[in-house]
Amino acid sequence: MTKHQCPECAYTYDASIGDEYEGYLPGTLFKDLPDDFFCPDCSVRFKIDFIEVDSI
């Protein structure tokens, strides 16, 4: 499972946890997030901008 981080505000999407508030179930891979996904915290960085930070 991978982690991807917003380069602006450090919001981190951890595929093993997902994002319950946003409606992404645990196990949802970052690549499977919608193409128009943008950072839920700052909204100024998009899917293409996120950086892979960790793998487990």
Partner 1 sequence: MHFIVLIAAAWWISINQLDWWGYLSLSIVAGNISGLGINTGHELGHKKGKFEKTLAKLVLAVPFYGHFTIDHNQGHHRDVATPIDGSSSRMGENFYAFVCREIPAAITRSFKTENIRLQRRKQDFLCFDNQIFQSYVISTILQGSIIVMFGLQIIPFLFIHNIFAWLQLSSANYIEHYGLLRQKDGLDHYERCKPHHSWNSNHVFSNLVLFHLQRHSDHHTHPTRRYQSLKSYDDLPSLPNGYLGCYLVAYIPWLWFYIMDKKLLKLSHINGDLSKVNLDPRKKMTLIKKYQEYN
The dihedral over CA atoms of 22, 26, 31, 36, expressed in degrees to the nearest 10, equals: -10
In whole angstroms, how close is the CB of 44 to partner 1 at the nearest point?
Answer: 6
1 binds partner 1 (CB under 8 A): no
The tokens for 15 are 């595929």
Residues 6+ apart with CB under 8 A from 16: 1, 26, 27, 56
Query: Which residue from 3, 5, 13, 24 is in contact with partner 1, where contact means CB under 8 A?
Result: 24
In whole angstroms, how close is the CB of 14 to partner 1 at the nearest point?
Answer: 16
Binding site for partner 1 (CB under 8 A): 8-9, 21-24, 38, 40-46, 49
